[in-house]
Amino acid sequence: MGITATFTEPLFTGTLAGSSEIGVRFPVALNGKPHMVDTRREGEWRHVSVPLLRSQSDQSVSPGAQSVNPEDLWRSSITSWHRGAGQTWRNKDAGELGEVSSPYQFNASVGVDVWGEGQIGMLNDTESKLASVSVNLDLGVAGGFLYVADGQTLKRTADVSPASPSWTSITTTPAQTIVGVVSTGADIYLAYGSAATAYVSDSAGTTGAALTGSAALNADVLGYAKGRLMAGVGPAVWNITSTSAATLNWTHPDAGWTWVGFADAGDSVFMAGYSGERSEIYRTVAEPDGTSLTVPVAALTSGLADGEVITGVYGYLVGMVIATNKGIRFAIPDANDNLTAGRLIPVLNSQAFEGQDRFTWFGWTNYDGDRTGLGRLDPSTISADGRPAYASDLMAGAQGTVTSAATFEGVTVFSVSGVGVFGETTDLVSQATIDMGLEDYGLVEDKVARAVIARFTGEGTVDAHIRSVTGGFVALGTNTEELTDFAVNSSRASAFEVRLVLNRSATDSTAGPTVDQEILKVYPAVTTTRFIHVPLRIWETDRDLHGNEFPTDVRTAVDNLWGLRNSRAVVQWQEGAQSYSVILEDLEWRPTPPDPSLQGFQGTAYVKMKEL
């Protein structure tokens, strides 16, 4: 018996409706409405995967990475590292403070010289220059000598290049522990805290003497800025004008105030201190007569976090390094010599600073579990948030607070509390490591890593390692050729990080590899969806799978299909026992001329659906 009622109910009701007649009377159903399929043309009913990659065209003037066929392995390349460390992700356009990733920045390094644009090499190694258990190892350079405070003794050497320099003790200084060393170029001044400040003439070397300008001048901290020797004595600031005279500049109104350092930048002398959890930097300039200093005024306009306490300052070239209990910041004076501290560099307990060339070295205490030493800033390369490029630098195979740094006869030296003084050698480090940062290619789905390429010149070798976003580094091998692929065994993850290890020459300790490019190749492992193409037969009278006739209101059925196309509603598509959540992407209605015995047009609806 045939069906005489027509299908006139709406096709979309807001739910993923299904039909119980699929596989029984009808082959397919869309949104619960059963249909017959027009099978007169072979291949019209098909499932096609959605293309993984969109088509592209290269609009650039010159060919480059953008010209590479995206259907090949995806490439991520680094060709320079001069913007420094601290970038965990290589391709994030917005992170903390909304910063944009730099193609010339990386995650972390040790023993790597990153400062030449377009390449990385190996840093010099270090060796012990003086062993000492003293915790107050403070360095200073005056004329032809390098000085170090070693407990109650001041020592100096005229040549720091040997592995075991000859140190001379200056025994006429007071029998008190030295708490600070400052050079004026010709003389070395010593702070004792509980005893009068002393000086040592560089020419004589044994003329330790107490300053007699003020009996109260038992300096806690010394500094040399704008040609003026400054001293902090409790909450008071003094300007030492000669070996026998000092002038009180200002006393902070907070009796519990502690001065921690002095620096020059712009036209001012800056002085930093704290009381409890409150810190400030003040500035002062010379009076018009040039003999005295103005009353200091607050100079730090913003930049410190709540509870962030300044522990030291250092001025060099265009700006100032500000050390705090949270890390270090950089500030450049404005036209009025006011300071805005830049973004924090998370290096704790930094006490040592030294400026040379365009760089400023800073103490990087206990960089890892095996090393302590120096980091390096490049204020000539500074980000929009005020953070200069930085990276780890010379390191000693020891643990301890880095208390001081200096440059003497072209050799960078630094002291480690309770360990001694270290200086760089002419040998390169035996091994240097750089972690490039995680790369996800702007795609959260998985990728499969296939190869790492490291291009280098020079002697030595390069090792490559790779890790997934959740795993540890896995060694890929050692490369002795200047350009060789390191194969990756189809590691699958959403993001990867490459580590390169540079090994110096086995025959020449002063030679090592220079890397100028690193490439990571992956292919996307995205589970793509599908397109479903089907020609639906919509006739006024048709037959089901059993040959039984059934009628259809063609106009209503076609209008309902157009409604699904325009609404982009999510509906259910059924094929036999399989069902899919889909949206109707495209629709083409091909009517056939009406049968004279029928009321109107009928035909085939060519439907393109996208699985969700």
Q: 80 Cβ partners below 8 Å, 6+ apart?
A: 103, 104, 117, 118, 119
Whether residue 94 is predicted with pLDDT greater than 70 in this model: the reply is no
Which of 68-72, 122-126, 217-221, 450-454 is predicted most confidently?
122-126
Place of tokens 């480690």: 416
> What's the pLDDT score for residue 175?
80
Answer yes or no: are the C-beta atoms of 341 and 289 closer than 8 Å.
no
Place of tokens 């000492």: 132
Q: How many CB atoms lie within 10 A of CB 589?
A: 16
pLDDT band at 67 (very low <50, low <70, confident <90, very high): very low
Q: What is the pLDDT of residues 41-53, one digit of tens each?
A: 788 999 998 876 6
Give me 54's structure tokens: 């969109």
Give me 157's structure tokens: 């050497």
> What's the pLDDT score for residue 66?
47
> What's the pLDDT score for residue 143?
80
Provide the Cα torsion 82, 83, 84, 87; round to 10°: -140
Q: What is the pLDDT of residues 396-447, one digit of tens each?
A: 999 999 999 999 999 999 999 999 999 999 999 999 999 999 999 888 888 8
Provide the Cα torsion 602, 608, 610, 611; round to 10°: 60
> What's the pLDDT score for residue 165?
95
Distance CA 612, CA 294 (A): 72
Q: What distance lies between CA 203 and its chain's CA centroid?
A: 47
Q: Cβ-count burial of 237 within 10 angstroms (0-12 exposed, 13-18 middle, 19+ buried)?
A: buried
Higher pLDDT, 59 or 153: 153
Radius of gyration of the chain (CA): 37
Answer yes or no: are the C-beta atoms of 511 and 460 closer than 8 Å.
yes
Whether residue 210 is predicted with pLDDT greater than 60 in this model: the reply is no
Helix (H, G, I), strand (E, B), or coil: what is residue 475?
strand
Return mean pLDDT, the chain. Answer: 87
pLDDT band at 101 (very low <50, low <70, confident <90, very high): confident
Whether residue 2 is predicted with pLDDT greater than 60 in this model: the reply is no
Whether residue 358 is predicted with pLDDT greater than 50 in this model: the reply is yes
Integer CA distances (angstroms), 30 to 47, 580, 587, in order: 15, 10, 13
Answer yes or no: are the C-beta atoms of 422 and 429 closer than 8 Å.
no
Instruction: Count the residues in the chain.
Output: 612
Give me 190's structure tokens: 């010593």
> What's the pLDDT score for residue 12?
38
Q: What is the pLDDT of residues 529-579, one digit of tens each?
A: 899 999 999 998 899 999 999 999 999 999 999 999 999 999 999 998 899
Q: What is the mean pLDDT of residues 189-207?
A: 73
pLDDT band at 269 (very low <50, low <70, confident <90, very high): very high
pLDDT band at 14 (very low <50, low <70, confident <90, very high): very low
Distance CA 268, CA 286 (A): 8
Q: How many CB atoms lie within 10 A of CB 533?
A: 17
Distance CA 468, CA 449 (A): 9
> For 169, which DSSP code?
E
Distance CA 142, CA 188 (A): 7
> What's the pLDDT score for residue 183?
92
Integer CA distances (angstroms), 318 to 114, 337, 437, 462, 554, in order: 22, 11, 30, 37, 80
Nearest to 141 by CA among 416, 352, 374, 413: 413
Ranking 210-214, 302-306, 504-508, 541-545 by mean pLDDT, the lowest is 210-214
pTM: 0.81
**Residue 502, H or E segment:** strand 496-503
Q: What percent of the chain has pLDDT over 70?
A: 88
pLDDT band at 7 (very low <50, low <70, confident <90, very high): very low
Question: What is the 3-state composition of the chain as percent helix, strand, coil, each rounded to the nearest 5?
Answer: 5, 50, 45
Q: Taking the chain, what is the end-to-end CA distance rounded to the nearest angstrom?
A: 39
> What's the pLDDT score for residue 54?
61
> What's the pLDDT score for residue 4?
42
Q: What percent of the chain has pLDDT over 90?
A: 67
Answer yes or no: are the C-beta atoms of 170 and 204 closer than 8 Å.
no
Q: What distance lies between CA 608 and its chain's CA centroid?
A: 46
Answer yes or no: are the C-beta atoms of 462 and 476 closer than 8 Å.
no
> CA angle 503-504-509, nearest 5°?
155
Distance CA 445, CA 493 (A): 8
Distance CA 543, CA 449 (A): 54
Q: DSSP secondary structure string, 71-116?
A: TS-EEEEE---TT-S--SBSS-SS-GGG----TT--SEEESEE--S
Whether residue 321 is predicted with pLDDT greater than 70 in this model: the reply is yes
